[in-house]
C-alpha cells in the first residue's frame, strides 16, 4: 500500500511538472479579436486592442485610473507627471515628462521622444510617419495643433482652439521607442515584431492571428503596477462558442464577452462570470433631419416610456444595466435629469396622442439595425423586443437590417444621405468614455456629416454652448459640472432612445485571482495571480 501511495505521489508530482506554466502563473486570455492587435504603439481592434496591446506594452502621457471597481475611472498622470495650461493663452499646454522612465530597449524617455511620437501620427513627411498608426491615432487627437520639446523633460502642446478635453485625447496615444525604431532599420514592420514601449508588459513574441506572449517589465516606473504573473498569453478567438469551449476545456483561463446563453452553463461549471458597469450604451440614435417624426420631443419621450427595460434584462440573462440616462447610472456626469426612464404605457400613448398620432394617423417609421457588431450585444432579439414594446404604445417600427460595417458607413454618412434609405433612426452602441466620444461627437452642430459623426444632424444652440463651455472649463470639478448639465439635457430632451448599458462580461477560470474590473473599457492585468 505504501508503495502504491508513493507511486501516486510521484505520479501527481510528475503531472505537476508536466504543467509548469500553470504553476508559475501564466494567464491565457481568449480575446474576441480575430488577430493580435497592432503592436507598434497605436493598436487597431478598437477598445479591445487598446486594452490588450496598447496599455500593456505602452504608456500614454495621461492614464485612466483602473484601480477601483466601485466608481467610474478618472484621469491620472501617466508618462506626464503633471500638466498645466497657460493662464493667458488657453491653447498652450505644458506637460512635465516623468523623469527616469526607460523604454523596454533601455533608452530613456524624453520630451523629444514624445514629439517624435506625435510626428509619427501627424507629420506625413516625417521619416517615422506610419500610415497604419496614423489611421488609428490621428482622429483621437483632433485638438493638437503644434508641439515642441522645450527641454529634455518639458513638452509644449498648442491646441487649435481652447480645448480642456486634451488630456482625454492624449490618453489614447501610446509612446513607442524611437531608439528601437532606429535600431531596427527604421522599419515599422520589424518594430512590430520586437516592439518597445514603456508599459508594464513586454511583448516577447507573437504569431499573427494565433497568439502573443507578454512578460512583466520588472523595471516598470510605477512599482505598484509591476505585473505579478510570469506570463500573459493572448489568443484571438472571434467565435463566441469557440471561446466558451476553450475555457471549458482548459485551453484558456479567461474569455472576453461570453455569450449570455452560455453564462448559466459556465457558472454551473464553477467559472467566475465578472461584470461591472462601464461607459457603454446601446441606443437608437434618432434623426433630427427634416421630416423625422423624432423632431417632436413628445414622440421621443413616448418611445422612451414604452420600453420594458427590466423585461429586456431578463431576455439577456441579467447581462445588462437598464438605462436611466445616456450615461450609466452612478456615472460622475449623470447629474439629476428630471425625465425618468421608466415603463409607462399610458403616458406614452397620451404623449403620442398629443403629438397627433392615433388610429387616424398611426405612427410608423423605419430604423436601421445590424445583425451583429462590436458592442451591439444581441441586436436582433433586442430590437425585436423593443419593436414589440413600441407596438404596444401604438408605434409601428419597420426594420432594415444591414451588415455591421455597412451600418458604420451609413453612420458616417448621416441621416440625410441616400445610404440611410429614409430611416429615421439607427441602432448603434457607443463608447462613451470621455467628453468627446460621450457627448460632443453625437450632437455638436459642426460635427454633422461629413465633418463628423452627428448622424442625426442635431443642432441646438444651447447644447453647442454647453459643449463650448466644456472645452473652456479647465478645472476638472467645474468641467464635470458642465458635463452633468449636458447629460441632463440629453435625458430631459430624450434625444436618444436610451435602452441599456452592457456590463463588460468576462468569464474567468476559478484559478484566476486578484482581478479588479474597473468601470472602464481598459483594464489593469498587473494585480492578477494564478492559483495552482
Partner 1 sequence: MLTYVAKRLLHTLPVAFGVSIVCFMLVHIAPGDPLTSVLPPDASAQLQAEMRKIYGFDRPLPVQYGLWLLKTLQGDLGVSIATGRPVASELWRALGNTLMLAVLATVIGFVLGCLFGFVAGYFRGSWLDRLASFVSIIGVSVPHYWLGMVLVIIFSVQLNWLPATGAGPGGSADWAWDWVHVRHLILPAVTMSVIPMGIVARTVRALVADILSQEFIVGQRAKGLLDAGVFRHVVKNAAPTALAVMGLQLGYLLGGSILIETVFSWPGTGFLLGQAIFQRDLPLLQGTILVLAMFFVGLNLIVDVVQTMLDPRVQRS
Which listed range, 7-15, 230-238, 301-309, 485-493, lies at the site for partner 1 (CB under 8 A)?
Answer: 230-238
Residue appearing with cell numbers 448559466:
264
Question: Within 357-416, which residues bind partner 1 (CB under 8 A)?
Answer: 403, 405-406, 408-409, 411-412
For 48-102, the DSSP string reads HHIIIIITTT---SEEE--S-SSSB--EEESSEEEEEE-SS-TTEEEEEEPTT-B
Give the count of residues interacting with partner 1 (CB under 8 A): 48
Binding mask 149-188 for partner 1 (x = CB under 8 A): ---------------------------------------x
Q: How far is the CB of 37 from partner 1 (least distance, A)?
A: 10
Work out whether 238 is an interface residue with partner 1 (CB under 8 A). yes
375: left (phi over 0), alpha (psi -120 to 50) or beta: left
Binding mask 108-137 for partner 1 (x = CB under 8 A): -----------------------xx--xx-
Q: Residue 146 corresponds to which cell in the numbers above?
A: 503644434
Q: Which is nearer to partner 1, 401 or 408 (CB)?
A: 408
Work out whether 24 is an interface residue with partner 1 (CB under 8 A). no
Q: Which is nearer to partner 1, 88 or 249 (CB)?
A: 249
What is the gyration radius of the CA atoms in the chain, in angstroms?
25
User: Strand 211-216 vs strand 201-207: parallel, antiparallel, or unpaired?
Assistant: antiparallel
Contact with partner 1 (CB under 8 A): which of 29, 101, 153, 192? 192
User: Strand 254-256 vs strand 506-508: parallel, antiparallel, or unpaired?
Assistant: antiparallel
Question: Within 407-466, which residues bind partner 1 (CB under 8 A)?
Answer: 408-409, 411-412, 437, 441, 449-453
**3-state DSSP call for residue 108?**
strand
Q: Which is nearer to partner 1, 219 or 403 (CB)?
A: 403
Q: How far is the CB of 475 from partner 1 (least distance, A)?
A: 27
Contact with partner 1 (CB under 8 A): which of 106, 127, 208, 381? 208
**3-state DSSP call for residue 306?**
helix
CA distance 510 to 209: 27
Q: Which is nearer to partner 1, 95 or 467 (CB)?
A: 467
Task: From residue 247, give the alpha-carbon distance in Å to each of 269, 273, 502.
Answer: 10, 12, 22
Give the angle 175-181-183 at the CA atoms, nearest 5°: 140
- Residue 65 contacts residue 522 (beta carbons within 8 Å): no
Question: Within 25-54, which residues bind partner 1 (CB under 8 A)?
Answer: 34-35, 38, 44, 46
Q: Which is nearer to partner 1, 151 or 403 (CB)?
A: 403
Q: How far is the CB of 453 from partner 1 (least distance, A)?
A: 5
Work out whether 246 is an interface residue with partner 1 (CB under 8 A). yes
Q: How far is the CB of 203 from partner 1 (least distance, A)?
A: 14
Residue appearing with cell numbers 530597449:
105
Q: Residue 224 corresponds to which cell in the numbers above?
A: 505598484
- Residue 40 contacts residue 130 (beta carbons within 8 Å): yes
Q: How far is the CB of 271 from partner 1 (least distance, A)?
A: 12
Q: How far is the CB of 242 from partner 1 (least distance, A)?
A: 5
Q: How many helices (H) and strands (E) does the chain have?
A: 19, 21
Q: Which is nearer to partner 1, 378 or 453 (CB)?
A: 453
**3-state DSSP call for residue 328?**
coil
For 222-257, the DSSP string reads SGGG---SSEEEEEE--SHHHHHHHHHTTS-SEEES
Site for partner 1, rule CB under 8 A: 34-35, 38, 44, 46, 131-132, 135-136, 138-140, 142, 188-189, 192, 207-211, 235-239, 241-242, 245-246, 248-251, 403, 405-406, 408-409, 411-412, 437, 441, 449-453
Amino acid at each position: 500500500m505504501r508503495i502504491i501511495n508513493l507511486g501516486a505521489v510521484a505520479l501527481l508530482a510528475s503531472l505537476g511538472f508536466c504543467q509548469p506554466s500553470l504553476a508559475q502563473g501564466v494567464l491565457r486570455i481568449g480575446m474576441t479579436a480575430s488577430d493580435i492587435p497592432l503592436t507598434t504603439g497605436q493598436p487597431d481592434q478598437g477598445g479591445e486592442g487598446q486594452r490588450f496591446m496598447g496599455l500593456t506594452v505602452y504608456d500614454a502621457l495621461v492614464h485612466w485610473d483602473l484601480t477601483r471597481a466601485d466608481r467610474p475611472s478618472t484621469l491620472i498622470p501617466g508618462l506626464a507627471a503633471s500638466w498645466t495650461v497657460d493662464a493667458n493663452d488657453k491653447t498652450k499646454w505644458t506637460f512635465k515628462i516623468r523623469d527616469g522612465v526607460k523604454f523596454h530597449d533601455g533608452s530613456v524617455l524624453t520630451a523629444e521622444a514624445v514629439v517624435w511620437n506625435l510626428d509619427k501620427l501627424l507629420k506625413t513627411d516625417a521619416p517615422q510617419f506610419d500610415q497604419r498608426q496614423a489611421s488609428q491615432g490621428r482622429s483621437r487627437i483632433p485638438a493638437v495643433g503644434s508641439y515642441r520639446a522645450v527641454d529634455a523633460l518639458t513638452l509644449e502642446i498648442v491646441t487649435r482652439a481652447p480645448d480642456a478635453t486634451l488630456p482625454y485625447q492624449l490618453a489614447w496615444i501610446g509612446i513607442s521607442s524611437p531608439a528601437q525604431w532606429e535600431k531596427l532599420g527604421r522599419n515599422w514592420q520589424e518594430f512590430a515584431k520586437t516592439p518597445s514601449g514603456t508599459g508594464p508588459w513586454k511583448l516577447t513574441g507573437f504569431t499573427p492571428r494565433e497568439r502573443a506572449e507578454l512578460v512583466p517589465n520588472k523595471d516598470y516606473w510605477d512599482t505598484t503596477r509591476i505585473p505579478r504573473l510570469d506570463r500573459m498569453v493572448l489568443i484571438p478567438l472571434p467565435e463566441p462558442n469557440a471561446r466558451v469551449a476553450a475555457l471549458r476545456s482548459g485551453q484558456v483561463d479567461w474569455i472576453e464577452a461570453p455569450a449570455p446563453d452560455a453564462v448559466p452553463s459556465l457558472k454551473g461549471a464553477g467559472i467566475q462570470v465578472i461584470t461591472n458597469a462601464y461607459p457603454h450604451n446601446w441606443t437608437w440614435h434618432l434623426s433630427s433631419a427634416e421630416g423625422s417624426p423624432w423632431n417632436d420631443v413628445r414622440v421621443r419621450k413616448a418611445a422612451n416610456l414604452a420600453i420594458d427595460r427590466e423585461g429586456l434584462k431578463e431576455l439577456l440573462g441579467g447581462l445588462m444595466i437598464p438605462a436611466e440616462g445616456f450615461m450609466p447610472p452612478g456615472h460622475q456626469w449623470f447629474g439629476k435629469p428630471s425625465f425618468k426612464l421608466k415603463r409607462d404605457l399610458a403616458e406614452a400613448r397620451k404623449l403620442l396622442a398629443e403629438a397627433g398620432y392615433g388610429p387616424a394617423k398611426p405612427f410608423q417609421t423605419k430604423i436601421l439595425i445590424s445583425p451583429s457588431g462590436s458592442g451591439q450585444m444581441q441586436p436582433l432579439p433586442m430590437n425585436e423586443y423593443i419593436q414589440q414594446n413600441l407596438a404596444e404604445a401604438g408605434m409601428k417600427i419597420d426594420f432594415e437590417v444591414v451588415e455591421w460595417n455597412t451600418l458604420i458607413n451609413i453612420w458616417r454618412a448621416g441621416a440625410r444621405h441616400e445610404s440611410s434609405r429614409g430611416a429615421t433612426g439607427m441602432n448603434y452602441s457607443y463608447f462613451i468614455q470621455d467628453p468627446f466620444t460621450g457627448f460632443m461627437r453625437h450632437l455638436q452642430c459642426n460635427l454633422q456629416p461629413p465633418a463628423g459623426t452627428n448622424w442625426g444632424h442635431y443642432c441646438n444652440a444651447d447644447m453647442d454652448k454647453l459643449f463650448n463651455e466644456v472645452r473652456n472649463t479647465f478645472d476638472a470639478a467645474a468641467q464635470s459640472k458642465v458635463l452633468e448639465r449636458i447629460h441632463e439635457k440629453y435625458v430631459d430632451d430624450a434625444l436618444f432612445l436610451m435602452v441599456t448599458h452592457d456590463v463588460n462580461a468576462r468569464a474567468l477560470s476559478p484559478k484566476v485571482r486578484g482581478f479588479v474590473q474597473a468601470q472602464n473599457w481598459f483594464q489593469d492585468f498587473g494585480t492578477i495571480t494564478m492559483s495552482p
